[in-house]
Amino acid sequence: MTVDTIPQELLTDISQVFTSTLFKIGDNPVSLRSIVELIVLFMAVLVISRSFTDFLKERLLVRLGIDEGNREAIAVILRYLIVALGVVTAIQSIGFNLASLAVVAGGLGVGIGFGIQDLTTNFVSGLTLLLDRPVKVGDFVELEGLMGIVKKISIRSTIITTNDDSSVIVPNSTMISNKIVNWSYENPLLCLRLSIEVAENSDPLLVTETLLNIAYAEAGVLYEPNPKVLFVEFGDDSFKFELLVWTDKPTEREVIKSSLNFAIEYNFRQQGIDFPFNDREIYLKNPEVLLSFFKKNETANEATEKSSHNGKKNPISPGEIKKRSSLSCLLREVEYFETLTDLELRQLIEVGYRQRLRPQEFLFRENDPGDAFYLILSGSVEVFVEAIDKHLNNLGAGQFLGELSLMLGIPRTASVRALEETILFAINKEGFQKVLTERPDLSEQIVQEIVKHKEELSERQQILREMELVDAAEDDENPVEWVRKRLKKLFNV
């Protein structure tokens, strides 16, 4: 045997090792070569499917504006379809007869089914999650005390990232069979409820206003939907309220609630609103000793009061000064609302909302619809005619604007923009209509106040006539009757 023939024989032997039949599956011989080819093809299928679906999810579907949950579902389903088709193609490409393979698989099916029962359940549950989509990637969910954001849904399991950045792998069967609170289902906003108890001598109007001010001041709380305060029930020695706020930052819910609680404690203390305390019965051995002590203190207090009065008025406490500048007091200074009761003022505060303006930001412009009334809580605005660049007035905290445009449905006759960071209390048409519906007699009071401004009223009426916004049945030379008809048409009162 020559030296040149040795490599040839070696190659022949190696080739025989790779091509010789190791075993048979049905009528299909299985060799080492076919196994290697199948492994290489499988790896190619996996790489191609992953690369394609990643491109689809991170680029193409993003450009089409599809949300994260839908992108993930489409990508996962397509990936498994590509893998399934690729596996079938790879098996056929190396000469396997799938019909004979199916016969063998059928024979082993019963035993394999019992062995991979949980895997099959999770697989079917994964398909259900991806197709039915009760939960999708990006949703904020609560499951058996576990709260977090769904980061990935695969065929076997779902990955949830908790608020402390821990990743929890949950079998898909658990996601399907157990009750899940999906805070993001059909609505990405999360509602937070805070229960508050106050002492029974507290003013419900002041409590409502203080809670709403706190809610609007919290950075994580949304202005829309508007925060709400509910008077839940009467306790034994307390009033029970609930503050409802909405946020688009579900992962920060605990931080936001903590911040609100801190603010409630501080502001209640500033406003003189007391929290209830539990009564305790104390039994004294010698009560006459304590009784004599109280009598001495009472005598001393009477002497102090006599010396402090001497014809002088008591000074106003800081709490009283704050109360006078509260929203309820500012609303009472508006001539249309000055006779409202505390209960009616509370309804007015509830239907309103806060609006924040940055410096130089417009509140509205000339000819915009007159659909809201505004009361300036802080900051200042400029009123001017934009068409001729004429300055009319500057308005500051405690002043109001836009009431006639709202009540008579008149387009804005001037533009308003903020001179500095400004917060306004606003009542839109829907909120004002709700108040008038609940208190019809308020409309007559508004009529009497509006007609006091006869000159301005005539100008507004003429503007509406020129714009052909006054119906013949509604028009009236008598301003009182015209305002009544206008209010009835706009607000159905």
Buried b or exposed e, range 286-300, using 16+ CB within 10 angstroms:
eeeeeeeeeeeeeee
CB 83 within 8 A of CB 53: no
- Looking at residue 420, its pLDDT comes to 95
CA dist 38 and 333 (Å) reads 85
> So what CATH class is 327-491?
mainly beta
SS3 190: strand
- Looking at residue 324, its pLDDT comes to 44
- Looking at residue 466, its pLDDT comes to 66
| CATH code for the domain defined by 134-182 | 2.30.30.60
Element (H, E) at 75: helix 68-93
| DSSP class of 279 | -
SS3 205: helix
Taking the CA of residue 138 as centre, how many other CA atoms within 13 Å lie in the half-sphere pointing to its CB? 15
| CATH code for the domain defined by 23-115 | 1.10.287
Residue 354's nearest CA partner among 416, 426, 417, 403 is: 426
Angle at 374 between CA 371 and CA 378, to 5 degrees: 150
CB 233 within 8 A of CB 240: yes
- Alpha-carbon distances, residue 486 vs 438, 461, 479 (angstroms): 18, 10, 10
- Looking at residue 417, its pLDDT comes to 95
User: How is residue 478 written in tokens?
Assistant: 């008598």
- Looking at residue 198, its pLDDT comes to 94
- Looking at residue 418, its pLDDT comes to 95
Residue spans of the domains in the chain: they are 23-115, 134-182, 190-271, 327-491
> So what CATH class is 190-271?
alpha beta
Give how far the C-alpha of residue 75 lies from the chain's centroid of Cα atoms, to the nearest Å. 28
| Length of the chain measured in residues | 493
User: How is residue 345 written in tokens?
Assistant: 């003022």
The order of strands in the sheet holding 353-357 is 353-357, 422-428, 372-378, 400-401
Tell me the residue type at 244: L
SS3 57: helix
CA dist 485 and 122 (Å) reads 66
Tens of pLDDT, residue by residue, the chain (493 residues): 454 555 666 666 666 666 666 666 556 666 777 777 778 888 888 888 888 888 877 777 777 776 666 676 677 777 778 887 887 777 777 666 666 555 555 544 555 555 556 666 766 776 677 666 778 888 888 887 788 888 888 777 888 888 777 888 888 888 877 888 887 777 778 889 999 999 999 999 999 999 999 999 888 899 888 899 999 999 888 999 999 999 988 878 888 999 999 999 999 998 999 998 765 555 556 666 556 655 655 555 555 455 444 444 444 343 443 444 578 888 888 888 887 788 778 888 888 889 999 999 999 998 898 889 999 999 999 999 988 889 999 999 989 888 878 887 878 888 999 999 999 999 988 888 888 887 777 777 777 777 776 666 666 666 666 666 556 556 656 667 777 777 777 777 6
CB 335 within 8 A of CB 449: yes
CA dist 163 and 84 (Å) reads 36
Axis-axis angle for helices 117-132, 68-93 (nearest 10): 130
